[in-house]
Amino acid sequence: MTMRPNSIEARDVASVLHPYTNAAAHRAEGPMVIAKGDGIYVFDTDGNRYIEGLGGLFCASLGFSEERLVEAATRQLRTLPFYHTFGGKANEPGVELAERLLALAPVPMSKVFFANSGSEANDTAMKLVWYYHNAIGKPKKKKIISRQRAYHGVTIASASLTGLPNNHRDFDLPIAGVLHTDCPGFYRYGLPGETEEAFATRCAESLEQLIVCEGPDTVGAFFAEPLMASGGCIVPPPTYYEKIQAVLRRYDILLIADEVICGFGRLGTMFGSDSFGLEPDMMSMAKQLSAGYQPISALMINEKVYNAVVKESAEIGTFGHGFTYSGHPVACAVALETLKIYEERDIVGHVRSVMPRFQSRLSALGDHPLVGEARGRGLIGTLELVRDKASKEPFDAALGIAAHAGKRAQVHGVITRALGDTVNLCPPLAITEAEIDDLFDCITRALDDTHEWIGGRISA
């Protein structure tokens, strides 16, 4: 694109380093500038309207014009615009939010620690794994296991948990002590003739082999997204978590559930742990906690982890961890109002009512010539694009097949996120059935365009 001097696009290129962006391409092409939002839609500076097919970044659960959240922030800004929670200080919104979260927890939890992002919540969980095992006299039990294709954040520690190559390449990651076991994606990793349950057994056996090889007395925790979202909407096969948790219990290994994307109704349950029967020792959450209207995250910990914090902080004299904005009163007030809206409007019930339409339209695209598998649950799904449906052969990465499909979707009025060979969809929870149809009509046109485009670039 040609950028006018002093335009917002030119000023952006001159001044902003963008996350998850090809910096060289951005310098040449410039940004897409979003000017405003209304419901599930956003508008660019040219007035073009788009369905936000990824809910911003899996977070805008109530869309982009929820006045009650604006009012909640404004009220709190006028009352107490900031205060910290260091040294035993508290504010009313933070206390009330912690109480509400504990009441919603799928398993008994003891305390809530507030941070600003999912990355920080997971980073905190890692530190608590180490702190806990020092407190209980097991100082060797520090290794942490994540999974291939997992996504847990981008701090040095949480990016190490993340199991995506481009989050590690040239950042000198992962750090020592972080291990990765199998991704539970049956479509891509199941063996010929293997059933889903047999695949789940093989994943659990592989985890156990890793633990035994490393030494059970050195492995402290296992991190898991109930459904692996950013890695391509990996839905674990039946019995997977039952078998995984049996292994963790056998070797006294903590389970941390990363609910950053699955939490607050995305799968048709309040938490992903409810959907898959997880019984975590800690739970991280963010994104839909405030519907994306304020940066906030939380980590819930159970009583045994909390007791370790009490013991160590008594010996040391402090719990030496925290962020300036932990429990920020404005963010907590907005999150509180978000949870009230979820309850009053029965957002979980709404998701259950519309997710059959979403999943039906998603599943139907599995028949498209470009789609190897259409998979999802609740109001989240992925289309994995392949060159050959029978063999599951992927396209040459240099073609940028999913990226092209994402650009065509944008032309047709949908913003989504294309990663590798996948086109990902995760719309606001407030979406209606009619809007779901509009979303998938646009995606279908984008896939048709891409099929036509790719036909001229590869041999049959």
What are the structural domains, with CATH classification, of the chain?
32-65+346-455 (3.90.1150.10), 69-344 (3.40.640.10)
Say yes or no to pLDDT of 13 above 70.
Answer: yes
Pairwise CA distance, residues 258 & 248, whole Å: 16
* Rounded mean pLDDT, 320-347: 98
Pairwise CA distance, residues 233 & 108, whole Å: 28
Task: Provide the b/e sequence for 342-360 (b: ≥16 CB within 10 Å).
Answer: beeeebbebbbebbebbbe
Pairwise CA distance, residues 105 & 11, whole Å: 45
Pairwise CA distance, residues 23 & 244, whole Å: 40
Q: What is the pLDDT of residues 209-268, one digit of tens each?
A: 999 999 999 999 999 999 999 999 999 999 999 999 999 999 999 999 999 999 999 999
- CB neighbours of 191 closer than 8 A, spacing ≥ 6? 199, 202
Q: What is the pLDDT of residues 142-195, one digit of tens each?
A: 999 999 999 999 999 999 999 999 999 999 999 999 999 999 999 999 999 999
Give the pLDDT score at 278.
Answer: 98
Q: What is the pTM of this model?
A: 0.96
* Rounded mean pLDDT, 27-51: 96
Strand order, beta sheet including 34-38: 34-38, 41-44, 49-52, 414-415
Reference 178, options 218, 132, 119, 206; nearest CA is: 218
Give the pLDDT score at 3.
Answer: 81
- Which DSSP symbol is given to 81? S
| Angle between helix 347-364 and 329-344 (nearest 10) | 80
Q: What is the pLDDT of residues 419-447, one digit of tens each?
A: 889 999 999 999 999 999 999 999 999 99
Q: How many helices (H) and strands (E) does the chain have?
A: 16, 15
Cis peptide leading into residue 356 (ω within 30°): no
| Angle between helix 329-344 and 67-79 (nearest 10) | 150
- Could you tell me if 19 and 44 are in contact, meaning their C-beta atoms sit under 8 angstroms apart? no
- Could you tell me if 56 and 67 are in contact, meaning their C-beta atoms sit under 8 angstroms apart? no
**Using 50, 70 and 90 to split pLDDT, how confident is the model at 330?**
very high
Q: Distance from CA of residue 119 to its chain's centroid?
A: 10
